[in-house]
Amino acid sequence: MTQLVLVSRGYDLSALAPRITQAAPELSVHAFGTPEAADAEVAVCWNPPPGALRTLPNLRLVHAVAAGVDNILCDPGFPPVPLCRIVDPAQARGMSEFVLWSVLHFHRGFDRVLANQRDARWDPPDQRPAHACTVGVMGLGEIGLQVARDLAHMGFRVLGWTREPKREAGIESFAGRDALPAFLAQTDVLVCLLPLTAETRGLIDAQLLRQLRPGAKLVHVGRGEHLVSADLLAALREGRLGGAVVDVFEAEPLPADDPLWRAPNLVVTPHMASSAGFDVVAQQIAENVRRMQRGEPLMNQVDVGRGF
């Protein structure tokens, strides 16, 4: 039997165990720290404690339970084995729902209407067509591309910012740091769907926010460390930024005394934008373990050197 270990901090993976054994009865699943786990060939992780993976001498595969792998690769002791992540079209569609809601929240003036309701104020906002609003999506990967396509389908003007140029109908492509100012200067609603890497950490700071159209909005669904939250607060308080929906934070759960909870026109959501169901996660892990055993190419393997 192949031994598999669940390694997680802050997220209970125990409900994944029966699903993995159902998808792959030849796997024996253990919690990290138990004697059986010491022989594990496969580690399934969310936010593993630094150094934990290094203690597993037989490790042949590390599998994330999520699309992002930053909380695994941040371990300086990450072992020299393949790392795979989850890619799920249903998760991408779920993200699209979340971002579409966020864009419409601002575009159709629900933010102002909800604030007015507290004062029993009847003040219908102006209605602008979708094409009058430009949404800039940073990251057109497995998730960002679905989001950008759906926004374009709704009639929004959509720009995409990536490392390499893209050819995608209905999406204007901007690639690399040199193209970032032109991308930002045209953006009314900025959506962050980047992976967290050395290049993208702290990217959304005062300098970036200043380059957006006056009164622009931010929809941040990447990772907390992309955003310099003090700069976001200042931009909102000074009115340079018109509003934000923020789903991801450096510290999660967001502490009760964090000023972001009470920032003007900021919607805080509890890292809920989209996740893959445990059944899908278990099936992808089971399939990759079979591929590992047969020596076949793995699905959704991460480029560890690149960081995503």
Provide the minimum distance between the beta carbon of 112 and ligand NDP in the complex, in angstroms, as a whole number.
25
Indicate whether 187 belongs to the interface with ligand NDP (CB under 6 A).
no
**Window 264-283: contact mask with ligand NDP (x via CB under 6 A):** -------x-xxx--------
Looking at the Cβ atoms of 164 and 178, the one nearer to ligand NDP is: 164
Cβ atoms 153, 141 nearer than 8 A? no
C-beta closer to ligand NDP: residue 3 or 197: 197
Q: Which of 201, 217, 206, 220 lies closest to 269 in space, CA to CA?
A: 220
Under the binding rule (CB under 6 A), the answer on residue 224 touching ligand NDP is no
CB of 164 to ligand NDP, least distance (A): 4
**Based on CB atoms, which residue is closest to ligand NDP, 43 or 193?**
193
**Residue 271 a catalytic site member:** yes
Which residue has the CB atom at the shortest distance from ligand NDP? 141
Considering only 28, 172, 223, 244, the residue that binds ligand NDP (CB under 6 A) is 223
Asked whether 227 and 241 are in contact (CB, 8 A), the reply is no
Q: Convert residues 54-73 into a mask of x (bound to ligand NDP by CB under 6 A) and - (unbound).
A: -------------xx-----
> What mask of x and - would describe binding to ligand NDP in positions 189 to 218, judged by CB under 6 A?
----xxxxx-xx------------------
Query: Mask 78-117, x = binds ligand NDP (CB under 6 A)?
Result: ----------------------------------------
Q: Which residue lies nearer to ligand NDP by CB, 85 or 107?
A: 85
Q: Hey, which residues between 129 and 168 contact ligand NDP (CB under 6 A)?
A: 139-144, 161-164
From the list 53, 83, 248, 263, which residue makes contact with ligand NDP (rule: CB under 6 A)? 248
Among 111, 245, 247, 281, contact with ligand NDP (rule: CB under 6 A): 247
CB–CB of 191/246 below 8 Å? no
Buried b (16+ CB within 10 A) or exposed e, 155-193: ebbbbbbbeeebeeeebbbbbeeeebeebbeebbbbbbb
Compute the least distance from the CB of residue 12 to ligand NDP, in Å. Answer: 17
Residues 6+ apart with CB under 8 A from 50: 74, 75, 76, 77
Size of the site for ligand NDP (CB under 6 A): 29
**Does residue 52 touch ligand NDP according to CB under 6 A?**
no
Among 48, 109, 222, 224, binds ligand NDP (CB under 6 A): 222
Task: Identify residues 21-50 at the interface with ligand NDP (CB under 6 A).
Answer: none
Measuring CA to CA, how many Å separate 210 from each of 190, 238, 249, 250, 295?
A: 12, 11, 21, 22, 50
Catalytic positions are 223, 271
Interface residue list for ligand NDP (CB under 6 A): 67-68, 139-144, 161-164, 193-197, 199-200, 221-223, 247-248, 271, 273-275, 308
